[in-house]
């Protein structure tokens, strides 16, 4: 792809470059979790964004690495490769990292020791020269006084201390990739973290399906494996078949789905009930007419 190329996107497609949306269906949504970490899909429309708004907030833009979870669109490419929003993030990660607090303190300590060693060495050189010793003795005495100031045990002491700290953190189910990060974590008193997708998986699960079994009584299904896909009488089976028929969810393989969290949860329930082949068979039926899900109406019509 090159800037200026026109691409056609549909539900389940991975966006191949940074694109500007020229046209899209009502209610189109993209999954920007790769960029923002938010699991909730974001709506897109071709209307021009307000002047001065950042590109990440513009609803008429879609970015490389994200996925279309609902709707279709026609878009024009404007950035590719390292120039994309995701490419710039990758480039910033690869740049040189800043020194940790421990590295700065050790570097300062080493510089201090070096200054002290030089001063001691020069003082020893002057003292032995004044006392009238021969040249060989003066040099050996000065060099010995200089290197005697070097803390030979500094490196193993720091390394062993960090290893012990890493072991203690491992006992608390904390994995440390770099030893110097242990000292930084030891200085932390408050950790601010995004919840969805970081502390939680960002997945939804269909736990119960409640419907009218007969006039005046309600029925609840929790074991979807007992639901018969061929049952045209039971309301529970009809509801689950209708829930599986959604365009935003695409079965990509065992346990892999693409789409909004709500529709992925419905698809998982269908796969649990009928298996992957059965769910695909239900999805494979021809769609005559569809009204996409709207948060205002709170329903989807197929």
The H or E element that residue 53 is part of is none
Q: CB neighbours (10 Å) of residue 189?
A: 4
User: How far is residue 206's CA from residue 266's CA, in Å, rounded to a whole number?
Assistant: 6
User: Active-site residue among 26, 82, 194, 231?
Assistant: 194
> What are the CB-based long-range contacts (under 8 Å, 24+) for 84-91?
84/17, 84/18, 85/18, 85/35, 85/55, 85/56, 86/34, 86/35, 89/35
User: How far is residue 285's CA from residue 22's CA, in Å, rounded to a whole number?
Assistant: 30
Bridge partners, 209 (sequence order)? 221
Alpha helices for the chain (secondary structure H): 33-36, 85-94, 101-130, 135-147, 154-170, 180-186, 235-244, 261-283
The residue among 55, 12, 9, 17 whose CA lies nearest residue 31 is 12
Q: Is 294 marked active-site?
A: no
Q: CB neighbours (10 Å) of residue 293?
A: 18
User: How far is residue 34's CA from residue 31's CA, in Å, rounded to a whole number?
Assistant: 8
User: How far is residue 293's CA from residue 269's CA, in Å, rounded to a whole number?
Assistant: 19
Task: Please give the positions annotated as active site.
Answer: 194
């Amino acid at each position: 792809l090159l800037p200026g190329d026109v691409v056609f996107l549909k539900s389940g497609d991975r966006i191949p470059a940074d694109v500007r949306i020229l046209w899209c269906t009502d209610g189109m949504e993209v999954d920007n979790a790769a960029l923002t970490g938010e699991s909730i899909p974001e709506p897109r429309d071709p209307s021009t964004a307000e002047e001065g708004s950042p590109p990440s907030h513009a609803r008429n833009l879609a970015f490389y690495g994200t996925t279309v979870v609902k709707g279709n669109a026609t878009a024009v490419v404007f950035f590719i490769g390292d120039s994309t929003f995701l490419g710039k993030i990758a480039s910033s990660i690869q740049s040189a990292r800043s020194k940790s607090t421990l590295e700065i303190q050790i570097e300062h300590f080493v510089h201090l020791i070096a200054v002290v060693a030089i001063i001691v060495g020069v003082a020893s050189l002057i003292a032995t020269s004044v006392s009238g010793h021969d040249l060989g003795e003066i040099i050996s005495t000065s060099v010995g006084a200089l290197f005697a100031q070097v803390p030979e045990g500094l490196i193993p002491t720091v390394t062993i201390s960090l290893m012990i700290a890493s072991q203690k953190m491992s006992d608390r189910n904390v994995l440390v990739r770099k030893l110097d990060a242990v000292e930084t974590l030891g200085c932390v008193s408050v950790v601010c973290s995004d919840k969805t997708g970081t502390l939680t998986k960002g997945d939804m699960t269909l736990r119960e399906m409640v419907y009218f079994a007969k006039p005046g009584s309600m029925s609840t299904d929790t074991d979807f494996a007992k639901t018969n896909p061929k049952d045209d009488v039971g309301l529970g089976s009809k509801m689950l078949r209708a829930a599986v028929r959604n365009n935003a969810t695409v079965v990509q393989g065992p346990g892999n789905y693409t789409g909004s969290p709500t529709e992925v949860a419905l698809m998982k329930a269908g796969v649990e009930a009928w298996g992957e082949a059965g769910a695909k068979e239900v999805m494979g039926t021809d769609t005559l007419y569809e009204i996409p899900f709207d948060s205002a109406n709170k329903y989807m019509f197929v």
